[in-house]
Structure 1
């Protein structure tokens, strides 16, 4: 993660751009790891930083704090955040945390951040980041299909089918190229970290009608996320794992379909995506993709697909809009 330039740059910029927010404030770093975010906060003028880390990495954090001469500002606490008691039961002004996992939620620490927010953050306190969004889009997955059609002159399609069966048991975390995305992304989930509860995250279920923006092979569903940081004066910093953005260690998550389908430009692709928290591990999720028949599901009002009913609706809406403009 320390080699993830996009990640580090986003956090540093979000903190440094808001020195007026951090100056003289008390900060809580949840899951501090090596302590880099705590040092960013201290460099921005924080009065006190509590860096909480449950693993043995806390020893490295202590060394990093000393190496950067912030022993008087940063206090490393070796414990789970749920077991921590801050001196004098004080409340903090800001919580910083890099809690995100693959597709945002898998193996993430959001539950711990929520707990810290409810127990340690002032009523007017801030969270860095303060919001997060999960997106999905149909995509091509050539590494599970075309790349096995000819391996040095040998067809390996039967082997590829076995790979896809294996991949159906566990989503694939890999880099998805922008040209493999087949439609504009849809929002799966938007999280306001100031308000979200643990119960809100138990099951996320959405149904999408994606409209193909090119001809291609529909071979999977790609999932990624963005995080937005607070800002007092500048444009908010956004950490993005979008395929169009700089690569991060989170990459993208792909649910591979067992069989591919050819799609044409403007063709509707209907699917349901369900993320359910595992009963065996609170930090794991089960992802289910259900392929739906576009003829049998309701399309959005301004659907741009090539189905007759959507073309007629668009024409009717455009007629009303034109009439309104003429009468205005």
Structure 2
């Protein structure tokens, strides 16, 4: 696996994967850090897509009341004002909103943007309804530590009939990868550590997906979509799902892991705008999510990997995920027949 930063995701995932106590408070506190916002603002794919979706559709935003859910530094709020919005309300739990107020003021938009610190479910908006909701709500694996629940609450509580959501469509995709060298470095390491058997930690490592950048040449199968969300109709119950998938093998190789990424669409634009976080496109701070299999699959071109992906929010914290992947190799070679089931926690 190439282009990794010490094999580590950004701060919010680092804390989780390092086993720190995790809570909703910690989640919001993580967004107090300057570095997270720097990383997101420098993510050109992310920020440019939102900017283009708003700027290229000024006829949609003109004279509208806009709600920015999880506004952070208020970059989306300012895009909306530039596009002609009558007023924008930004809501965020993090103390970064204090800096956002300063940013809005120095850009001469304090009369157009109202920033509220608090939970979306608890703040009092200055308008009873809004015409448009904008939000960058996506987390790793789309749903890990995402703000989708909050966006859905805002949709049901504040969006006028016929109102718009930017973005409004999201899909998760899977593929199989060859990643033996990196798996050995990250997982095999625990077999022998300074002369001692550390395999109990190996079992733990296998249950923790990595957030990392995967090179396209490592991908062994065709990608397949496993979940599509329409933000106008999706409900919280839809985020608990079990879906079957089939991966078509493209070459003779090994499959050490499955990777997941997501695609985003602003479908209500005059010209639809989309971006992907997959290995086939430009870097984004979401990278890809890597689920290592217990044992490598030996695959040949034309074969298929059949599987089931199960996802549900963790019972203790809905921003965390419990994920199960069952798989079997469709092959007529009895020496390579294999199947397994893995459980992961994000």
TM-score (norm 1): 0.82
**For each residue in 1:25-46, what CA deviation from the matched residue of structure 2 results, as whole angstroms up to 9, or x when unmatched?**
1100000011111011111111
Indicate the residue corresponding to 1:223 in structure 2. Answer: 260
Q: In structure 1, which of residues 68, 82, 103 is the aligned counterpart of residue 107 of structure 2? A: 68
Give the drift of 1:5: 1.3
The 3 A distance-change label for structure 1 pair 10 and 266 is same
Shift of 1:85: 2.2
Is the contact made by 1:145 and 1:157 (CA closer than 8 Å) also made in structure 2?
Answer: no
* 2:89 counterpart SS class: strand
Cα distance, 1:147 vs structure 2: 5.9
Q: Which residue of 1 aligns with 2:95?
A: 56
**1:117-128 map, 5 Å:** 117-128=155-166
Residue ranges of structure 2 left out of the alignment (5+ in a row): 1-39, 333-346
Paired residues of 1:164 and 1:258 also in contact (CA < 8 A):
no
Aligned partner of 1:29 in structure 2 is 68
SS in 1 for 2:95: coil
CA distance in 1, matches of 2:106, 2:210: 38
> 1:56, 1:148 → 2: CA distance?
35
2:306 equivalent to 1:290? no
2:284 alignment partner in structure 1: 248
Q: Which stretches in structure 1 are left out of the alignment for 5+ residues?
A: 150-154, 297-328
Seen in structure 2, the aligned counterparts of structure 1 residues 157 and 199 have a Cα distance that, compared at 3 Å, is closer
Aligned residues: 288
**3-state SS in 2 of match to 1:82:** coil
1:238 aligns to what? 274
2:122 paired residue among 70, 83, 88:
83
Deviation per residue, 1:138-194 (Å, 9 max, x gap): 112234346689xxxxx9694599575343221111001111112121111100000
Q: Distance in 1 between matches of 2:72 and 2:192?
A: 40
Hey, what's the Cα distance between the residues in 2 that align with 1:94 and 1:148?
Answer: 44
Q: Distance in 1 between matches of 2:307 and 2:267?
A: 33
Contact 2:164 2:268 in 1 (8 A): no
Shift of 1:233: 2.3
1: CA distance between counterparts of 2:192 and 2:301?
30
Question: Within the alignment, does 1:274 sit opposite 2:317 as a pair?
Answer: no
Give the corresponding residue for 2:224.
186
Aligned 8 A contact 1:136 1:187 in 2: yes
* Contact preservation (8 Å) 1:126, 1:230: no
* Contact kept? 1:26, 1:94, Cα under 8 Å: yes
2:10 alignment partner in structure 1: none
Q: Partners in 2 of 1:288 and 1:69 — Cα distance?
A: 49
Paired with 2:169 and 2:189, the residues of 1 have a C-alpha distance of 44
Q: 1:27 to 1:88 in 2, by over 3 A?
A: closer
Q: Looking at CA atoms only, which structure, 1 or 2, has the larger radius of gyration?
A: 1
Matched, 1:173 2:211: yes
Counterpart among 133, 137, 143 of residue 105 in structure 1: 143
Q: Distance in 2 between matches of 1:148 and 1:248?
A: 22
Q: 1:295 Cα deviation (Å)?
A: 6.7
Q: Which digits, 9 at most, give the CA deviation of each residue in 1:268-325, with x for residues without a partner? A: 11222111211010111111111225379xxxxxxxxxxxxxxxxxxxxxxxxxxxxx
Q: What TM-score comes out, normalization by structure 2 length?
A: 0.78
Could you say if the C-alpha distance between residues 293 and 19 of structure 1 is closer, same or farther in structure 2, counting changes exceeding 3 Å? same
Q: CA RMSD in A?
A: 2.2
- Answering whether residue 96 of structure 2 is matched by residue 96 of structure 1, we say no
